Structure 1
Amino acid sequence: MFNVVADLTTAICALAMLAAIAFNFIDARGARAFRERRSPVATASMTGFFVALYLVIRLRISAIDSDGLLPLRGAGLALMVFGTAFNIWGRIFLKQNWSDHVRVYSDQQLVTTGPYRIVRHPLYASLIWMFYGAALAYLNPLAALGNTLVFIPAMIYRSNLEEQALGATFGGAYAAYRKRTGRFFPKPGRRAE
């Protein structure tokens, strides 16, 4: 029974993410001036990781068989749902500043409200959380290892490129924001402002 709930929850999260990404692409189609730095870590490569993770989970590669860990699996599902909601919340606040590549628009705004008060990169952070949630929900250590060794380094690389571009554009305002706000996880002891 839990597997049916997990599969349904996962499907709903995946469809919500696909819809949110489609809306981002549609919303970002306007003709606006920008500076861009192409990155190998973009929507296509992130989707490739998602497909690989899905196959590892679906084919039960390295999965642990245990019905005794239902609370842990339930926590994984909750983390997936939370990550999906946090990602969509981040997209709502990012609005037309979203881009598939590292891009700074001529009318770019520094977003520091909503989920951006909590972490600097809520879209990447939420994907990390979702992937760990999936690894827990399906008791798959290989999925957790892939998230740790492949996806997180890719997100660090991509976020570093974005932070260089935002720092060059917003200077001291971005430096202050960066100092008070964690990258993928809230800074310990810091309250969201």
Structure 2
Amino acid sequence: MFWLFIMLLAAQRIAEMIVARRNEQKVKKQGAVEYGEGHYPFLVLMHVLFFVSLTAEVAAFQKTLSPRWAAIICIILFVQGIRYWALLSLGRYWNTKILVVPDAELVRKGPYRWMKHPNYAVVILEFIFLPLLYGAYWTLFLFSILNACMLTVRIRAEEKALEENTAK
């Protein structure tokens, strides 16, 4: 079951990268400028290594499903709903990169009515609940810390890019 779970997550990420690439092409035609290019490869690497670590920890220590698996799965599914609500709310502007179309208006619908960065909240929750599903506590702690550091850099870069380039 674990390998099916990992394959589903990998397929999801690959599909998201395809959407991101298409959206990148669309907004670049509108004059979008990319920010945060320096940290982006580290962001991608961190996400890849998260899944490597999760897989390695579960396999090496023969972890099994948590006794609370049903509740954790419900939380994970709820979090995925927020992910796709955010993605759909941003439409062609959703991306894994920081791409800003000059003078575009900020999206303020969907979860963006209540939070500035709902997708980052989703990632924080995933880095907690995906490892919890199998008791992969080393992955949970290590990548929660790495993600917090990365999001500090990422959110600063995104906020600066949006402030300098979007319509008020």
User: What is the TM-score normalised by the length of structure 1?
Assistant: 0.71
Contact (CA 8 Å) 1:87, 1:126: kept in 2 or not? yes
Secondary structure (helix, strand or coil) at the match of 1:70 reads coil
Q: Which residue of 2 aligns with 1:34?
A: 32
Q: CA deviation at 1:163?
A: 1.1
Computed over aligned residues only, the root mean square deviation of the Cα atoms, in angstroms, reads 2.7
Write the deviation string for residues 65-88 of structure 1: whole angstroms up to 9, x where unpaired.
577x411x3333333333333222
Q: Which residue of 1 aligns with 2:11?
A: 15
Q: Report the residue type matching 1:149 in the other structure.
A: I
Matched, 1:128 2:117: no
Q: Which residue of 1 aligns with 2:87?
A: 91
Q: Which residues of 2 match residues 25-174 of structure 1 at below 5 A? A: 25-30=21-26, 31-42=29-40, 44-60=41-57, 65=63, 69-71=66-68, 73-106=69-102, 108-170=104-166
In 1, the alpha carbon distance for the partners of 2:6 and 2:73 equals: 8
Q: Which blocks of at least 5 consecutive residues in structure 1 are unaligned?
A: 174-193
- Taking every aligned residue pair, what percent have the same amino acid on both sides? 19
In 1, the alpha carbon distance for the partners of 2:74 and 2:3 equals: 13
Aligned residues: 165
The more displaced of 127-136 and 26-35 is 26-35
Larger relative contact order, structure 1 or 2 (CA cutoff 8 Å, min sep 6): 2
Cα separation, partners in 2 of 1:47 and 1:74, compared to 1, 3 Å:
farther
Q: Report the residue type matching 1:34 in the other structure.
A: A
Contact (CA 8 Å) 2:63, 2:136: kept in 1 or not? no
Q: CA deviation at 1:114?
A: 0.6
Contact (CA 8 Å) 1:75, 1:133: kept in 2 or not? no
Contact (CA 8 Å) 2:104, 2:166: kept in 1 or not? no
Contact (CA 8 Å) 1:75, 1:137: kept in 2 or not? no
User: What is the TM-score normalised by the length of structure 2?
Assistant: 0.80
